Structure 1
């Protein structure tokens, strides 16, 4: 099957699986521990049912979305995904270019293999920059400065990686620093000759260009990866770290990785502009709840003070619409566009976006909504009666700790 014959995002996943060696595919696909959180993310969406309304004029449908002051063509974007260049050289720039062409947000990871300066030139109005706290305040501050100097409008601080998680697929495959490739892994990789050829032609392990800036002159890709590994994660990252970023950053600031309603309230009090409710795609805490389960309480806790987004487990247009009904302004997803990049480069990324856009459009028509501002909990069958009021009352009793937190 070629890219143009892909009907859904899982078709792109299967194409990527055929074209990537197991060590690379498992890096995209895997989660933490027993990977129960991966399954939970999908199951949580599947518990909701959308109730259609008929005899409504849906001949013209508009899925445009105003997010953090900018209007995008669809209510979804591309999540930050590190080491994308391992799956296809210059994949980060492919993601940026296709996001710009589709007019959706592209959240570039600071662990990317292309640089924020390159992405900003390709997609100046669509690129956001995602950073982690590091163990070096000077580097933290410089990453913020570089985003500002590149004219990036939105900075994303990911907070849900206090320590490295137990990603067992990576450990079994030897995908650690330093790389430990067994003969069996090497032999399996040779069954994917096009990937091996691209890998060798591009010089082997790709350089983390955002971090090469902080390595000694002449540092190789492995040296830069080791530097990154010594400075991240940063378990001493706290609310003070967020406040420091807020003080330095003049643009829109988004916090990614919030799951608790009290943390959401604290983030709102700290002056962030947006929150991405996320469990890191099931890659950090295997016992974590699905973001879609936590979204209603978080929406009540922040009281409209910040714009809410959601990622983790989004694979269908139905998922996008469910999240919007529950209070998200938009969603992001990362694995599907990586599948597209791995399977077919820019056309593969374009196909992933087109598939999701078409599914959102069809779902909107099926439920009788011509625009996104018509969506709400009334469109959901499985929303328990009185649940909104019950949660709001719960949070009012929790008032001093939540709404006046900090």
Structure 2
């Protein structure tokens, strides 16, 4: 398959769909309930227009951003995604290598198949570690200690999964824990022989290696997955859990999944160094707002100095530009790089990052801005107002009931 024939991220999605059995493709592609949140994440970007400025010298463009003391080449990164090894063996390590080559962050999920100790040597300056708080405080403390020992620079704590969501595509396909290759799954998968051969050659369902140390000796991949399922989600997790992590972690701490401005403000008061504004890619609360819609209120709540990475629904370079104009520092995305790695391994993930980088560069030139970090609301126009005053868009940003920021 010629990855260079992919001219946008949707092309990589179509390539992955041909490579993967339905049960695997839908695991990546699907959301919760009616998947309205998936559509809402895209519709949020579609409501905005970029207002170009011409007769400006844009011959030398720069899209780098600084995050937690590191300069990255582009304002993009790879979101944490679990079970990537199901789509291609060693997918997590391929994603890490692609991030290293593109000089962007890769947020390794604690639900990944690669252990953080194995991913860090692949891309030591680019791997951030994402963890969930579990019901076992000793394991929480050990995950932080392992990240510190592996010399992870940025620790990301996800807080938006208090309970498992209703992912109906997975249920219809028979994707359950423990994962079983039932007859209907096998029959459908036979239409994707390369995936089946890799699955069988590597021993079936891949091991969740970050959790293997907490299982009994000799535990199978299924038994480790079952252990993970008993530890997470952990509905008892609260602000005190974050306080303990902040006390034990001296590096940059990023909280992922907060959407309410008051929660964002509380996280910063607690000591968070950054936020990932996310609705878990529409995979948790189907009635949740788009992170893009919440971005102005969250930015106002935490001030200008706290990095905000916007996640969920980012599919175009123009999306990164719009997010920056509304107050984001950078953006991250997960599905496109998973589709890329499923379609073509590390080269496929690299193609996804390259496509986004190329689009951002083109849009910067089109809007008349040489530096990504110079983007602001002056470059936005919305049909709801149709005018600007002093170059600034007069767009009222509605806040949810009860929000004061």
CA drift of 1:390 comes to 6.1
Match of 2:286 in 1: 286
Question: Normalising to structure 2: TM-score of the pair?
Answer: 0.95
**Match of residue 2 from structure 2:** 2
* Equivalent residue, structure 1, for 2:267: 267
Q: Alpha carbons of 1:295 and 1:344: their partners in 2 closer, same or farther (altered >3 Å)?
A: same
Q: Identify the residue that residue 37 of structure 1 maps to in structure 2.
A: 37
Task: Measure, in 2, the Cα distance between the counterparts of 1:144 and 1:319.
Answer: 33
Inter-partner Cα distance in structure 1 for 2:166 and 2:16: 24
Tell whether 2:144 aligns with 1:132.
Answer: no
Go from structure 1 to structure 2 and tell me whether the alpha carbon gap of 1:172 and 1:339 turns closer, same or farther (over 3 Å shift). same
* RMSD of Structure 2 on Structure 1 (CA): 1.8
2:159 counterpart of 1:159: yes
Given that residues 96 and 106 in structure 1 are in contact (C-alpha distance below 8 angstroms), is that contact kept between their aligned partners in structure 2? yes
- 1:211 equivalent in structure 2: 211
Superposition pairs for residues 4-403 of structure 1, below 5 Å?
Answer: 4-382=4-382, 384=385
Give the distance between the partners of 2:51 and 2:62, measured in 1 at CA.
Answer: 19
Return the alpha-carbon distance in structure 2 between the equivalents of residues 183 and 98 of structure 1: 36
C-alpha contact (below 8 Å) 1:173/1:181 kept by paired residues: no
1:67: Cα distance to partner?
1.1
Question: CA, structure 1 residues 185+368, in 2 after alignment: closer, same or farther (shift >3 Å)?
Answer: same
Deviation at residue 179 of structure 1 after TM alignment: 2.7
Distance in structure 2 (CA, Å) of the matches to 1:363 and 1:222: 46
Give the structure with the larger helix fraction.
1
C-alpha distance in 1, partners of 2:373/2:192?
46
Tell me, which stretches of 5 or more residues in structure 1 are unaligned? none
Aligned-residue offset at 1:138: 0.4
TM-score, structure 1 normalization: 0.95
Describe the SS at the equivalent of 1:107.
strand
Q: Give the match's secondary structure for 1:328.
A: coil
**8 A Cα contact 2:179 2:205, kept in partner:** no
> Which region of structure 1 is more displaced relative to structure 2, 253-262 or 383-392?
383-392
Work out the CA distance in 1 between the residues paired with 2:96 and 2:35: 29
Q: Find the residue that maps to 2:304 and give its secondary structure.
A: coil
- Cα separation, partners in 2 of 1:361 and 1:292, compared to 1, 3 Å: same
Once the two structures are TM-superposed, the CA of residue 183 in structure 1 deviates from its matched residue by 2.1
CA distance in 2, matches of 1:262, 1:2: 47
Distance 1:318 1:58 in 2: 17
Q: Please say if residues 160 and 280 of structure 1, whose CA atoms lie closer than 8 Å, have aligned partners that are also in contact.
A: yes
**3-state SS of 1:213 partner:** helix
Point out where structure 2 has 5 or more consecutive residues left out of the alignment.
none
Q: How many residues align?
A: 398
CA distance in 1, matches of 2:300, 2:356: 28
**Cα displacement string for residues 100-128 of structure 1 (whole angstroms, at most 9, x for unaligned residues):** 11100000000000110111101000000
Report if aligned partners of 1:128, 1:156 keep a CA contact under 8 Å in 2: yes
CA distance in 2, matches of 1:180, 1:124: 35
Q: Secondary structure at the match of 1:15?
A: helix
Contact 2:63 2:373 in 1 (8 A): no
How much does 1:307 deviate? 1.1
Q: 1:387 to 1:160 in 2, by over 3 A?
A: farther
Q: What is the deviation of 1:387?
A: 7.9
